[in-house]
Amino acid sequence: MKTTLKLHLCLLVLLSLGALSVTSAGAWVPALDEVATDKGEVAYDDCRPWVENVKPLMCVYGNPESKTTVALVGDSHALQWGPPLIRLAKRRDWRLVTFIRANCPIAAVPYERYCDQWRSNAFEAIEAERPRHVIVSTSIGGRYRLIVNGEQLSRRASEPMLVRGMTRTLRRLNRIPSLVRRGTRVKLIRDQVTAPFLPPLCLERRQLNPASCRFRPTRLFGPGFDWVAAKQAGILPAIDPVKVLCRPKWCYSHQGEMVVYRDTDHISATFARTLTGWLGARLGF
């Protein structure tokens, strides 16, 4: 009886100090059994080509008649920024046009035939839209392992080629005549840190201590080929989501009752929308 009482007292002390938090299974936003599909409008508006389709499927948000066209370009890690950018497009009277292909590096490197054809077509289509601003984001995680002379490289060995390819991409986009005329630049949203576990699953299993679902804010392959390429292309500063997703020592799977990550390397659309003001303040336009 005394032992049980001591345990209860310790639990109350930990809760009062914020070292332990308790969230019921139904209180998470989005719900843990729904967060995996919380991808946002761009994912479900038929805006992404699949398999052999190499034609960019452009979706337009905001004001279709606006003179300010903003292009969002990249893979699914660009797609995840669709929700706050759509809100900004409505607030700021943009014409937001998306150029998204999942699992396809926007870096100009030989990767997969249909991906490579889509990328080439996308560059031409972006230029034809005469954007005033271009926003780029890409995964820098383990998925982009390149093939050289028929042999698949490790992800780390692929990094130098990805840096060169991403630099070529950023320089090409930066030379779009509509950008050059207005003296604007491509804006990079850096990739966030990949979680070493599945955050929603961790939150489900650790309802009594969800703060333990944390991981170090360390990118696996150095600063990332996206940031290095942006430096070489002269388009820094980039927008770094780690500064808002993580604290100095840890990244967390949740903020309050909000689920941050829908899987290991994408943030939930619901959480992304809460970053609308933060992102808008850093775009510079």
- Could you tell me the residue ranges of all domains in the chain? 28-195+223-242+269-283
The pair of three-digit structure tokens given for residue 212, joined into one six-digit string: 């333990």
Q: Given its phi and psi angles, is residue 61 left (phi above 0), alpha (psi -120 to 50 degrees) or beta?
A: beta
pLDDT at 1: 45
pLDDT for the residue numbered 190: 98
What is this structure's pTM?
A: 0.90
Q: What does the pLDDT read at residue 51?
A: 85
pLDDT digits (tens, 9 = 90+) for 47-89: 999 889 999 999 999 999 999 999 999 999 999 999 999 999 9
Rg (CA), the chain: 21
Question: Three-state DSSP class for 152?
Answer: strand
The DSSP letter of residue 36 is: G
Q: Are 50 and 66 in contact (CB under 8 A)?
A: no
Span 150-179, mean pLDDT? 97
Which segment, 12-21, 40-49, 129-138, is predicted with the most confidence on average? Answer: 129-138
Topology classification of domain 28-195+223-242+269-283: Rossmann fold (3.40.50)
Q: What's the whole-number mean pLDDT along residues 225-235?
A: 97
Residues 6+ positions from 59 with CB-CB distance below 8 Å:
41, 42, 45, 46, 47, 97, 98
The token pair at 206 is 């650790």
The mean pLDDT value for 99-104 works out to 97
Give dist(CA 40, CA 175) in Å, integer: 30
Of 269, 209, 280, which Cα lies nearest the Cα of 29?
269
DSSP 61-117: EE-TT-S-EEEEEESHHHHTTHHHHHHHHHHHT-EEEEEE-TT--SSSS---HHHHH
Reading phi first (left if > 0) and then psi (alpha if -120 to 50, else beta), residue 31 is in: beta
Reduced to 3 states, what is the DSSP secondary structure of residue 256?
Answer: coil
Task: Give me 236's structure tokens.
Answer: 């820094």
Per-residue pLDDT of 241-268, as tens digits, reads 999 999 989 999 999 999 999 999 999 9
